Structure 1
Amino acid sequence: MSKKVNTSEPKRPVDVLFDKYQESHNNQTNELIHWICVPLIVFSLLGLVWQIPFPHLDFMGKYNGFFNWASILIAFALYYYFTLSPVLFFLMIWVIGLFSFLIVKIELIVGLGSSTAYLIYASIFVVAWIGQFIGHKIEGKKPSFLDDVKFLLIGPIWLLHFICKKVGVKY
């Protein structure tokens, strides 16, 4: 009598998280809304946190303005992404870099910490979250982060993993 040996590899933690996240993201309309709203939420959250006054750090000299509360948020998020997938971590660096570039451009136009800056980011944030909840209403399932807050961080790399699959990059 021969026993069957299971030779399949166990799922990586990132794939387990994607599978769980996918459970409430199967409706095409909800997925489309996520492709629009998740990046807007990340952008607007970074923009909002960027506006919070940060203590002046004399030792940083002329680079003092390049470190802020958003830098700390970015560092923690990127570390988490790195633990899940170095490839998705690398892609998120580019996404966050683009968002940071746009935030700095907005800052140059309306001013850091101005009421206009807060209004821009808060408006985007609120509208994008309304979109997310509409998408989940259409889906008929609650958002994943209501069960586990870490799914707030999974959404952006969940979208990136589809891009990786489409172009044949192992994540």
Structure 2
Amino acid sequence: MSSLIMYNMKQKVEEQRNVDKMLSDYGTYHFNQANFIIQVIFLPLLIFSLMGLITATPFPYLAFLGKYNMFINWFSIVLALAIYYYLKQSPLLSYIMLFTFGALYFFIVQLEYVEQAGGIKLWEISLLIFVVSLLFLLLGNQNEEHKLPLSQFWKKIIIGPIWLWSLVLKRFNLKY
């Protein structure tokens, strides 16, 4: 009888989608309540700061783009790759991330306007947010019983935003 139960459990694990496995794995590093709160606050800030740093990186002028040159930058390329990656994992999560990136990019554009008006530079504020967010995320990881290895930190960061959204979707009993 126990072999039948083990077979059914094994079959359920095999049927689990890749995105479910990744999100479950990411969640194993975030059981501590303080670290969870840190993730909710500082993970989006880290993503925002990375977007700002990538956007602030100069992009070469490409004559064949003509008037559309201003719409292409390093972030638009990274965005396309990220959305493609998320789409392969879960279409719904990729759409949500596209909307999320769009909302965050609105604030990056606002920071570019501040820079053009003589205010703080986009890369400076992005770097400051990046350093603070990274420190909090690393400190939060230290509170965990099961710590995320530093060698996997950057690989797991791309999963973090969809992990947060998956928690919201689960709260409302929506399948992703």
**Shared fold per TM-score greater than 0.5:** yes
> C-alpha displacement at 1:10, in angstroms?
1.2
Residue of 45, 51, 60 corresponding to 2:56: 51
Residue of 102, 126, 135 corresponding to 1:130: 135
In 2: Cα distance, 1:30 partner to 1:55 partner: 40
- Judged with a 3 Å threshold, the aligned counterparts in structure 2 of structure 1 residues 71 and 144 are, in CA distance, closer, same or farther, namely farther
1:63-87 superposed Cα distances (whole Å, 9 cap, x missing partner): 3211100111111111110010001
CA contact (8 A) 1:164 1:170 kept: yes
Q: Which residue number corresponds to residue 31 of structure 1?
A: 36
CA contact (8 A) 1:38 1:155 kept: yes
Q: Which residue number corresponds to residue 108 of structure 2?
A: 103
> C-alpha displacement at 1:168, in angstroms?
2.2
For these two proteins, the number of residue pairs brought into alignment is: 169
In 1: Cα distance, 2:107 partner to 2:79 partner: 15
Normalising by structure 2, what TM-score?
Answer: 0.87
Structure 2: which amino acid aligns with 1:44?
S
SS of the equivalent of 2:64 reads: helix
Q: Which residue number corresponds to residue 71 of structure 1?
A: 76
In 2: Cα distance, 1:12 partner to 1:145 partner: 26
In 1: Cα distance, 2:154 partner to 2:141 partner: 16
In 2: Cα distance, 1:86 partner to 1:35 partner: 22
* More divergent stretch after superposition (22-31 vs 3-12): 3-12
Higher helix share: 2
Q: Which residue number corresponds to residue 158 of structure 2?
A: 153
> C-alpha displacement at 1:170, in angstroms?
0.8
Structure 2: which amino acid aligns with 1:75?
A
Q: Which residue number corresponds to residue 119 of structure 1?
A: 124
1:37-89 superposed Cα distances (whole Å, 9 cap, x missing partner): 11001100010010111111233333321110011111111111001000100
* More divergent stretch after superposition (15-24 vs 79-88): 15-24
- Report sequence identity in percent: 39
Normalising by structure 1, what TM-score?
Answer: 0.89
CA contact (8 A) 2:114 2:120 kept: no
Q: Which residue number corresponds to residue 163 of structure 1?
A: 168
CA contact (8 A) 1:13 1:84 kept: yes
* More divergent stretch after superposition (117-126 vs 145-154): 145-154
RMSD: 2.2
Structure 1 unmatched runs, 5+: none
